[in-house]
Structure 1
Amino acid sequence: MIALLAPALAVLGPIWTFATSRFGLPLVVAGGVILAYEGLPIGPLRYIPYVGPALAILVDGRVDREYAAGQLAERLVWQEQQRKAIAQLAAKAETKQKEIDAAAQAYVDQQNTDAVRIADLEQAIRDQKDEDLGPQDHDNAAGACKPRGGIPARLSIGIDAVGR
């Protein structure tokens, strides 16, 4: 059995001797502390799908774990701010839509009111024309020269108020 371990002991013996020596022990301790904080650098192996994250879990140090936790915390804060901003925009859009709907309804109501007023004014114009075209004295030359068909001032003002 020792014969099988002889090649490994031949290589590891001097390393063990140095690691337990006066100069080697502080180096081993310092290396262990650095390895615990920094981890093993795996470089681009970290980006290999499935293998990279599993390898990173094994060899990452405290610094990398804290960095990943900070990234996650910042991402969650940013997503919450995005949700709040979207909710504010939706509320603002809803308020604007309600204002637009109210203005459109007011416009439709005004159109309905104007249609009734226009119909009343047009009827008044027809009635006025009928009065002007009433029985006339055809024998009287002065009656034949009377101006007819003019719109009275009160109807003209009413029509102008409606916009026609």
Structure 2
Amino acid sequence: MGALSAIPYIGPAIDFATSRYGLPVVVAGGIVLAYEGVPIGPLRYIPYAGPALASLVDGRVDREYAAGQLAERLLWQEQQRKALAQLAAKAEMKQKEIDAAAQAYVDQQNTDAVRIADLERAIRDQKDEDLGPQDHDNTAGACKPRSGIPARLSIGIDAVGR
């Protein structure tokens, strides 16, 4: 003990720490230091050195706080993944509906094209029947008015949209 007492600042500190009042203060200070750690402030944000220093001087409270932050971050990321998966499923379902509607439209267009071709052929056949053999020498016969489109063809054309 004599060698430590020779150092001017350490000697009185050790004497106080081993005294009747100093021992409870040192024990309480040790407990607070273990739980709270050494406050290093903005030093913990220095790249590479800050996290290493923080792991040495952080107390139990800081470690539990960091563990809670990590748990919350992981929970939030999992919820984000689930939400993105739901959005992707909804988008895929809507895209399937759009594709089905587009296919139905194309099928209807193909069906309409066949119906239109049949109706146009029927109109040509009807016109050919209406024209028949003409007498080019008879001008009165050449000016004879043509008959209109039959009602069944007109209704068929209207159903197709032309």
Deviations 1:46-72 (A, max 9, x none): 011111000000000000000000010
After TM superposition, give the deviation of residue 6 of structure 1 in Å.
6.4
In structure 2, the partner of 1:128 is 126
After TM superposition, give the deviation of residue 43 of structure 1 in Å.
0.5
In structure 2, the partner of 1:104 is 102
After TM superposition, give the deviation of residue 149 of structure 1 in Å.
4.5
In structure 2, the partner of 1:31 is 29
In structure 2, the partner of 1:151 is 149
Mark the runs of 5 or more structure 1 residues left unpaired by the alignment.
none
Change in Cα spacing, 1:63 to 1:55, as seen in structure 2 (3 Å) is same
Does the aligned pair in 1 maintain the 2:38–2:59 contact within 8 Å?
A: yes
In structure 2, the partner of 1:16 is 14
Mark the runs of 5 or more structure 2 residues left unpaired by the alignment.
none
What is the CA–CA distance in structure 2 between the aligned matches of 1:55 and 1:24, rounded to whole Å?
Answer: 29
CA RMSD of aligned residues (A): 2.1
In structure 2, the partner of 1:48 is 46
SS in 1 for 2:108: helix
Q: Which amino acid aligns with 1:111?
A: Q
After TM superposition, the score normalised by the length of structure 1 is 0.88
Deviations 1:66-124 (A, max 9, x none): 00000100110011111111111111111111111111111111111000000000000
User: Would you say how many aligned residue pairs link Structure 1 and Structure 2?
Assistant: 160
What is the CA–CA distance in structure 2 between the aligned matches of 1:157 and 1:147, rounded to whole Å?
Answer: 22
After TM superposition, give the deviation of residue 22 of structure 1 in Å.
2.0
Q: Which amino acid aligns with 2:19?
A: S
After TM superposition, give the deviation of residue 15 of structure 1 in Å.
0.8
SS in 2 for 1:46: helix
What is the CA–CA distance in structure 2 between the aligned matches of 1:64 and 1:84, rounded to whole Å?
Answer: 30
In structure 2, the partner of 1:68 is 66
Please, which moves more after superposition, 17-26 or 124-133?
Answer: 17-26
What is the CA–CA distance in structure 2 between the aligned matches of 1:153 and 1:74, rounded to whole Å?
Answer: 75
Does the aligned pair in 1 maintain the 2:43–2:50 contact within 8 Å?
A: yes
What is the CA–CA distance in structure 1 between the aligned matches of 2:146 and 2:16, rounded to whole Å?
Answer: 129
In structure 2, the partner of 1:87 is 85
What is the CA–CA distance in structure 2 between the aligned matches of 1:58 and 1:7, rounded to whole Å?
Answer: 31
SS in 2 for 1:21: coil
The percent of aligned pairs where both chains have the same amino acid is 85
